[in-house]
Amino acid sequence: MSVDPVFIGIAGDSGAGKSTFVKDIATLLGKDKVRTISFDDYHSLDRVERKAVGITPLHPRANNLGLAIEHLFLLKQGKKVLKPVYDHSTGSFGDPEWVVPVPYIICEGLHPFFFRSLAELYDMKVYYDTEMDLKFNWKVKRDTAERGYTIEQVAKEIRLRQRDIRNFVEPQCALADIIIKLKISKNSSSAIGVDWKEPVDDPWLKKYLKSCNFDNWKCFNEWYAGRKMNVFGIHSDLTQEELKELSSIFSISQDVLSKVKEKEVVPYRTMLVLFATRIKQIRASKDKEEKVVFKDAV
């Protein structure tokens, strides 16, 4: 029987931490069950061509989003696809690679749900909204170490991109099921806190935490991109007792729990565990549906 993958889309600016997040989620879910698709692979222009035309990679014209729609559509039908590969170390394209359907397909990038026809293909959409100060430092460090840029070039590129970020990346937050905001926090040993935002009319965390059980989590409402959101500010580390309590409230599975148990449960790790739990629930309900369909068919 072919797999009906759970499709997750993670949109956000360059350097926000999307691929790090996806790598960490894959570790919790089991690397063999997860296939990541970087939307950078759907750039239609390489680094030299973008410079010649005078557009940034954030402009939709610098990307072949039509091909991305076609590929996700085929993967959803259980078919394999031959996907292009963008190589950041050279700024050009490498050999294409096959992608086969697996239980979780996570698409991360600048435009994973830019078009409605793309947005409709996902079971869950996340907007990854890291605070500018964190994002700036991370991007400078990464792009100088791994992508062959100087500090001055990265700083100039970030300035050049601001209009395109507002026009082409940020509007996707209006379609997101969850907005994850990483921000500097004095209360965590990691110095990073997390705001988990979900629309009040489509809650998940709120269903479990009717009244906030964790003293240090700030819970409030906020308007964001025209929608009223529940915001859970997870800014301090969990004790092992709190992790136990959390795991019983959310029925966090042992395989996920065992991967964080011995480590410091900083806000980022708490968010990973909650996110992995949510998408495992989506997997479980798909599996149940498949069983019903199969039973009805025999």
Ligand X SMILES: Nc1ncnc2c1ncn2[C@@H]1O[C@H](COP(=O)(O)OP(=O)(O)OP(=O)(O)O)[C@@H](O)[C@H]1O
Site residues, ligand X (CB under 6 A):
12, 14-20, 138, 141-142, 192, 268
Sheet strands side by side (includes 192-199): 34-38, 104-109, 6-12, 124-128, 178-184, 192-199, 227-234, 218-224
Cβ closer to ligand X: 39 or 122? 39
One residue of 8, 14, 24, 267 binding ligand 5RP per CB under 6 A: 14
* Cα four-point dihedral sign 284, 289, 290, 294: positive
Q: Which is nearer to ligand 5RP, 156 or 291 (CB)?
A: 156
d(CA 139, CA 116): 29
Name residues contacting ligand 5RP, limited to 64-103 (CB under 6 A). Answer: 88, 91
> What does 147 interact with, of ligand X, ligand 5RP, none (CB < 5 to 8 A by kind)?
ligand 5RP
Q: Radius of gyration (Cα) for the chain, nearest Å?
A: 20
Measured between alpha carbons, how far is 72 from 241 in angstroms, rounded to an integer? 41
Q: Which is nearer to ligand 5RP, 15 or 101 (CB)?
A: 15
Nearest residue (CB) to ligand 5RP, 47 versus 244:
47
Binding mask 100-119 for ligand 5RP (x = CB under 6 A): ----------x---------
Distance in Å, CB of 83 to ligand 5RP, minimum: 15
Q: Which of 9, 12, 17, 57 binds ligand 5RP (CB under 6 A)?
A: 57
How many helices and strands (H and E) does the chain possess?
A: 10, 12
Residue nearest ligand 5RP, Cβ-based: 14
- Mention every residue, 6+ apart, whose C-beta is less than 8 A from residue 214: 234, 238, 242, 246
Smaller CB separation from ligand X, 138 or 214: 138
Q: Which residue, among 123, 102, 101, has the nearest Cα to 113 in the 3D structure?
A: 123
Query: Among residues 14 and 230, whose Cβ is nearest to ligand X?
Result: 14
Residues 176-215 that bind ligand 5RP (CB under 6 A): none
3-state class (DSSP) for residue 78: coil
Q: From the centroid of its chain, how far is CA 284?
A: 20
> Interface with ligand 5RP includes 60 (CB under 6 A)?
no
**Partner whose footprint covers residue 19, from ligand X, ligand 5RP, none (CB < 5 to 8 Å by kind):** ligand X
How far is residue 115 from each of residues 61, 65, 79, 81, 278, measured CA to CA in Å? Answer: 13, 8, 22, 20, 25
The CA distance from 15 to 137, in Å, is 9
Regarding 40 and contact with ligand 5RP (CB under 6 A), the answer is yes
By rule CB under 6 A, what count of residues binds ligand 5RP? 8
Residue whose CB is less far from ligand 5RP, 146 or 202 = 146
The values of phi and psi at residue 71, to 5°, are -65, -45
Contact residues: ligand 5RP, CB under 6 A: 14, 40, 47, 57, 88, 91, 110, 147
